[in-house]
Amino acid sequence: MAKRRCSYTLFLVITLNGMAVTSILPGVPGVFAREALETGETPENEIDDLKQQLKMMEELFSKQQEQIKHMQESAARQQEQMQALRDRLEKIHTETVSVTREEVKEEVKHEVENYLAAEKAREATDLDIRRITALYTPDGEKYALSLETADGNYSLSFGGRLQFLYSFEDNDEDFEEADKNILDIRRARLFLGGNIYSEIFKYYIELGFDDFDAVVKNFYAYWTPFKVLNSKIGFFKVPFNRQGVTTSAHLLFPDRSIVSNTFTQDRDYGFDIYGYPFDGYLEYHAAIFQGAGEDPLEDDINNELMYVLNLRYNPFGKFNYYDETDYAYTETLKATIGASVAFNAKLDDEKLENTDSIAGVVDLGVKYRGISWNNEYHIRSDDPEDGGDSTESDGFFTQIGYFVLPKRLELAARYSYIDPNNDVSDDIQKAYRVGLNYYFRAHRSKIQSDFGIVTTERAGQDQQDNIFRLQYQVIF
């Protein structure tokens, strides 16, 4: 009997060990318990003991189920706690970054304000540095730097332009003129502009350093309350011929035609009323000028002022007809037709004494898909007041440009003709030019080159000069 109890005890120990393993590895039966069940060997009088063991196993299994449930609940609570910790960490990080950004913004704003001006000066000028914007010159070029108040009533902008020119002149030896190699700063300009008091009252100043002598090229104020009615006063280009009014930065060739240089009215002191009615289909100018050009007034200059009338029609709507190229690659056909007349007109930018002078010009311009075609025809009459012989003169040019590579490579050609005196038969001047232009950043950075033949009739002989030019332009 003692031996049998020992067997029972040993069997119970083995069974409990199997249960312990089962508690560690849920779902995996105890090895020893499984062997006992598989053998099916049950000694006599042991049924009660087996029932007791089964009961104990059931109780242990129930406890294991409770432990598993408790562990699942504990695991769920731990997951909730971990997620809460993650959410808290993310919130703390976001708040920290947000605070840091705000501090940086405040610090930068503080430093910029200190750099521009003291608080009292800023209040006096009503300058709000939050509006540092891009403004444009009257010729449509963006300034290098612009400052503007928050209400837009005051602004100040700066910029400049440089044209570096190399030219070789193969002059006609028959007229004893030597060849020339020239490196020149063709144009060096510094300009500033903006508006004062309101957005419609503007100013523009341009200084020239072409010959390293500072001169004022433009100095005027203009009032633009409406598209149909504007005014300008100061020293500026006379609104006569379109090529003369076009800035040298937007020319098809390195320089204007010989016709434009001869007949243009250039700059003067005056007052201009102008506008763009009918949505820009029309443009008009009615202006009055001193008529003395850039020279100071002298005692022997008569008191007759110069009057200019200009009218322009754009049959297909307004476009940038003061740019001689079609860099913008106009998708639909655009055209402009203009006519001007100047009374008491200048000649070579000088006022003629005791002479009634009238100059007129008509022009035609067309643009379409990289093609630009521009033409001008000039006439002029000078009638001396002392009864001397009057002089009639005329001239014209036609030029065409085409972008073989849109916005990059452009071909150009021009023909010019001048008859300085219609009563003289051998004074005709002609010019033939072909050109090649390459654009890095539109007109702001470009190279222009051309080759020209200029012929002049002199006493029955033709003087022929060959000229090559290469120019680089940068606008800043």
Express each pLDDT in 64-89 by its tens digit. 888 888 888 877 887 887 788 787 77
Query: Dihedrals φ, ψ of 174, to 5°?
Result: -65, -20
Task: Give CA separation, 103 vs 97, 110, 119, 239, in Å.
Answer: 10, 10, 20, 54
Which tokens sit at 61?
Answer: 């299994």
Q: Does position 29 have pLDDT exceeding 90, yes or no? A: no
What's the rounded mean pLDDT across residues 46-65? 79
Q: What is the β-pairing status of strands 371-384 and 391-405?
A: antiparallel
* CB within 8 Å of 162: residues ≥ 6 apart: 185, 187, 188, 189, 473, 474
Query: Dihedrals φ, ψ of 178, to 5°?
Result: -80, 155
Q: What is the β-pairing status of strands 155-170 and 180-195?
A: antiparallel
Gap between the Cα atoms of 391 and 90, Å rounded? 89
How many residues belong to the chain? 476
The CA angle 308-314-315, to the nearest 5 degrees, is 140
Are 327 and 290 spatial neighbours (Cβ–Cβ below 8 Å)? Answer: no
Smallest CA-to-CA distance from 219 within 232, 205, 209 is with 205
Which tokens sit at 417?
Answer: 């003709």
What was the pLDDT predicted at 68? 84
Between 71 and 356, the more confident residue is: 356
What is the number of other CB atoms lying within 10 angstroms of the CB of residue 335?
A: 17
Are 236 and 222 spatial neighbours (Cβ–Cβ below 8 Å)? Answer: no
Q: Binning pLDDT at 50, 70 and 90, where does residue 35 land?
A: very low
Q: Does position 448 have pLDDT exceeding 90, yes or no? A: yes
Map tokens 């003169």 to a residue: 393
User: 175-189, 350-364, 401-415 — which one is most confidently predicted on average?
Assistant: 401-415
Q: Does position 242 have pLDDT exceeding 70, yes or no? A: yes
The strand pairing partners of 470, in sequence order, are 166, 449
Q: Does position 162 have pLDDT exceeding 50, yes or no? A: yes
Gap between the Cα atoms of 142 and 321, Å rounded? 18
Q: Binning pLDDT at 50, 70 and 90, where does residue 24 land?
A: very low
Q: Binning pLDDT at 50, 70 and 90, where does residue 140 land?
A: confident
Q: Binning pLDDT at 50, 70 and 90, where does residue 473 land?
A: very high
* CB within 8 Å of 323: residues ≥ 6 apart: 140, 246, 250, 443
Torsion sign, CA atoms 99, 101, 107, 113 = negative
What's the rounded mean pLDDT across residues 254-267? 95
Which tokens sit at 55?
Answer: 């009961």
